[in-house]
Amino acid sequence: MHSYGQSGFDVVALGVNGGISDGNLTAFFISPKGDDRGVMCDAGTLVNGVSVALQQDSFNSIIAPSSGQQASIGTIIKSHIKGYLISHSHLDHVAGLVIASVDDSKKPIYAFPSVIADLQDNYFNWRAWPNFADSGVEPTLKKYTYRALEEGKSLPLTNTSMQVTPFPLSHGGRLSTAFLIEHDNSALLCMGDTGADSIEKSDHLATLWQALAQRLEGKKLTGIIIESSYTNARPDNLLFGHLTPRLVIQSLQDFARINNKGQSLQGVKVLISHIKYSLDTGFSNKKVIKEQLNSANTLGVEFVIPTQGDYISFD
Nearer to Zn ion, 92 or 197 (CB): 92
CB of 26 to Zn ion, least distance (A): 6
**Would you give the binding string for Zn ion spanning residues 3-42, x where CB under 5 A is met?**
---------------x------------------------
CB of 201 to Zn ion, least distance (A): 18
CB of 92 to Zn ion, least distance (A): 4
* H helices present in the chain, as ranges: 47-55, 73-75, 91-100, 113-122, 197-200, 204-215, 245-258, 286-295
245-258 and 204-215 are packed helices; what angle lies between their axes, rounded to 10 degrees? Answer: 40
Nearer to Zn ion, 193 or 200 (CB): 193
Q: Determine the 3-state secondary structure of 38 from DSSP.
A: strand
Q: Which span sits near Zn ion by CB under 5 A: 86-94, 128-136, 152-160, 245-253? A: 86-94
Nearer to Zn ion, 160 or 284 (CB): 284
- For Zn ion, which residue has the nearest CB? 90
CB of 96 to Zn ion, least distance (A): 13
Residue 96 Cα distances to 28, 101, 151, angstroms: 12, 8, 26
Question: How far is Cα 273 from Cα 311, in angstroms, rounded to an integer?
Answer: 14
Nearer to Zn ion, 182 or 193 (CB): 193
> Would strands 107-111 and 144-148 be described as parallel, antiparallel, or unpaired?
parallel
Choosing from 37, 90, 183, 269, the residue that interacts with Zn ion (CB under 5 A) is 90
Residue 282 Cα distances to 20, 21, 221, 231, 278, angstroms: 11, 11, 36, 16, 6
Nearer to Zn ion, 216 or 289 (CB): 289
Contacting Zn ion within 187-206 (CB under 5 A): 193
Residues in CB range of 201: below 8 A, 6 or more apart: none
Question: How far is Cα 315 from Cα 199, in angstroms, rounded to an integer?
Answer: 33
**Phi, psi dihedral angles at 244 (to 5 degrees):** -125, 170
CB of 200 to Zn ion, least distance (A): 13
State the DSSP string of 130-181: ---BSSSSSSP--SEEEEE--TT--EE-TTSS-EEEEEEEEETTEEEEEEEE
Choosing from 92, 118, 182, 200, the residue that interacts with Zn ion (CB under 5 A) is 92
Nearer to Zn ion, 11 or 94 (CB): 94
How many residues in total does the chain contain?
315
CA 175 remoteness from chain centre: 15
Q: Which span sits near Zn ion by CB under 5 A: 125-133, 153-161, 186-194, 283-291? A: 186-194
Q: Which span sits near Zn ion by CB under 5 A: 91-99, 177-185, 210-218, 249-257? A: 91-99
Q: Which span sits near Zn ion by CB under 5 A: 59-67, 83-91, 94-102, 156-164? A: 83-91
Nearer to Zn ion, 59 or 167 (CB): 167
Q: Which residues bind Zn ion (CB under 5 A)?
A: 18, 90, 92, 193
